[in-house]
Structure 1
Amino acid sequence: MKVSIQRFLKLNIWLLLLVPLLGKAAQDIERIVVSGGSITEIIYAFNEQQRIVGVDSTSVFPSDATNKPQVGYVRRINVEGILSLNPELLLGEADTGPEKVLKQLQNTGLKTHIFSENDNLAGVENKIKKVAQLLNVEEKGKQLVNHIAKDRNALTHLLSQVTSTPNVLFVLNLRSGQPIVSGAGTSAHEIITAAGATNIAATHFNGWKPLSTEAAMAMNPDFIIAMGRHGQDKVADLASIPHFKFSNAVKKNQVLIFDGSYLLGMGPRTPQAVAELASKLHPNAKLPNDYQFSALQSATKVESL
């Protein structure tokens, strides 16, 4: 009996020593490499950016993130560049790759998590919760999710007043004077639909495709959405090409310019961006009186919510 008691005491002492080590993993991860702008935004929103030791080239918001060491483009991350930062964790969006590089990194023992299931508008909150869990800051995750609920509710309120759906064309960029536009199955298509509009190109093709002058004139969109940071320059460019020169969108001055990471980033600002887009596509519908856009110029910090 005496031996059993001694063994019992030793076992409990061992467990007491082991428990802190088991709980240490997430709490002590202080060196994180991020491949994907939305994840970077989330970590900054948690005010945990000091834990980021490297980012990919799509991590452009907030602007401070661009000062972090770079590890390449999200789809072409660099093994040597990442390992040189001595990371403890790699967090990546669904298109992080190539797969060969991910396997090489994992074979070194680097812990990785790729958000393959939450990289869309519907999955923003789940992505936030998972990042919060991995960083052991679940309470900050809850606060950010609650903040985003206001954006979701504002959008629902506005769309409840909508009686018609405008035809929209989403232009990613101009390539040799030819617009590259969004068909079905793209992030832009998801955003347009969520904002209560019709992606006029979706019935013609999937993915991103160049659009001929004839096809563009036949579509004749009510609104054109384009990516850019210098709005008026982009409006002038689109209005001058024959594809859109005589379109309803140009005639009615309904060419909308949005920052790409804001509208398509699928990060904590995207639900607000959709609400803002919907308010422009449906000017007669109103957002709630007490709702304000709060994340246009700076990261949404949890502690200020």
Structure 2
Amino acid sequence: MKPLFTYLVIASFLITTNISQALEPTPQRVVVSGGSITEIIYALEEQDRIVGVDSTSVFPIAATLKPQIGYVRKISTEGILSLMPDLVLGEADTGPKKVVSQLQSTGVNMVILSEEDNFLTIENKINHIAKLLNVPAKGHTLANSLKADRDALRYVLSQSDYKPRVLFVLSVRSGQPIVAGAHTSANELINAAGGINIAAKHLDNWKPLSTEAALAFNPDAIITMGRHGDDPLTDIAKLAHFKFSNAAKNKQVYSFDGSYLLGMGPRTPQAVVELASVLHPSTQLPTGYKFRFAKTSQTTTELSE
């Protein structure tokens, strides 16, 4: 009797679980606050469910045609509710906090992916979003596709012990560069690509950099960011801060598309492989590895031609 009883218990559990899963509604009207989430939903081929996106959702270009809800850190309660979403997905920096609290108080299904917004947990983010959309198999397939990039990165870094001293410049405001210190996504990715963020020991978060500090840093390589399709910082090497640096002298000033490198979406692991390759130019990619997405790194020389 015991085997029969055990079988009946298991069968009852499976039937109950399947019924419960079947009764869970699949979100059909999704509002997104965060470019990486939008990119993931498009990669899962579930973009028809998106009814609104924030202004950082710039890839793929078709996402920019969706109704807009504002900047990720300045979303509005009324704008989102007017789209009648059955799911609101937000990245860790979705805000302001008051608006997030207001949306949650309305009872709208809102999920903030605060623990999965870093380089090592992109696959977790993909699987989480796919589960919320009730397409877990698609999520596993997409997440598994990033293994090729992870393996390629390890291969590149295994060929060199050299750790270049890198400075990441986000933008220039009133002639002063804004650079990545500790506790930034850029700092995380520089380390992942086998570099040393020379600002991390002295600065926290994104901070302006004085000419004197820049001269003392004397980076071996400078990474700049083309923000959301804007023109990259083509004259960064000509700033008084950097024109005498090793990076400028050796033409090691590169511009990357911002959403590609810093987005923490499906393209970011490839972008870090590309970053590792420019920081370690003597290394080779593994045989058979191919860039699935367009590379975006360009030197200052190439940009000014």
User: Once the 2 structures are TM-superposed, how far is the Cα of residue 236 of structure 1 from its aligned partner?
Assistant: 3.7
Cα deviation per residue 1:189-216 (whole Å; 9 max; x = unaligned)? 0000000000011111211111111111
Q: What residue is the counterpart of 1:271 in the other structure?
A: 269
The answer to whether the 8 Å contact 1:229/1:257 transfers is no
Q: Describe how 1:118-267 pairs up with structure 2 within 5 A.
A: 118-228=116-226, 234=232, 236-267=234-265
Q: What residue is the counterpart of 1:301 in the other structure?
A: none
Q: Which amino acid aligns with 1:118?
A: E
Q: Which amino acid aligns with 1:94?
A: A
Partner Cα distance (2:292, 2:187) in 1: 25
Q: Which amino acid aligns with 1:134?
A: L
User: Once the 2 structures are TM-superposed, how far is the Cα of residue 25 of structure 1 from its aligned partner?
Assistant: 2.8
Partner Cα distance (2:250, 2:233) in 1: 12
The answer to whether the 8 Å contact 1:183/1:189 transfers is yes
Structure 1 gap ranges (5+) = 1-11, 298-305
The answer to whether the 8 Å contact 1:235/1:255 transfers is no
Q: What residue is the counterpart of 2:4 in the other structure?
A: none
The answer to whether the 8 Å contact 2:228/2:258 transfers is no
Q: What residue is the counterpart of 1:35 in the other structure?
A: 33
Matched, 1:115 2:113: yes
Q: Which runs of 4+ in 1 moved over 4 A?
A: 18-22
Q: Which amino acid aligns with 1:260?
A: G
Q: What is the count of residue pairs matched by the alignment? A: 282
Partner Cα distance (1:158, 1:199) in 2: 19
User: Once the 2 structures are TM-superposed, how far is the Cα of residue 184 of structure 1 from its aligned partner?
Assistant: 1.0
Q: What residue is the counterpart of 1:93 in the other structure?
A: 91
Structure 2 gap ranges (5+) = 1-11, 296-305
Moved more, 284-293 or 186-195: 284-293
The answer to whether the 8 Å contact 1:75/1:96 transfers is yes
Partner Cα distance (1:229, 1:126) in 2: 26
The answer to whether the 8 Å contact 1:272/1:293 transfers is yes
Partner Cα distance (2:79, 2:232) in 1: 35
Q: 1:236 to 1:295 in 2, by over 3 A?
A: closer
TM-score when normalising by structure 1: 0.88
TM-score when normalising by structure 2: 0.88
Identity %: 62
User: Once the 2 structures are TM-superposed, how far is the Cα of residue 296 of structure 1 from its aligned partner?
Assistant: 2.3
Structure number with bigger Rg: 1
Partner Cα distance (1:234, 1:55) in 2: 24
Q: 1:247 to 1:235 in 2, by over 3 A?
A: farther
Partner Cα distance (1:178, 1:96) in 2: 27
Moved more, 190-199 or 78-87: 78-87
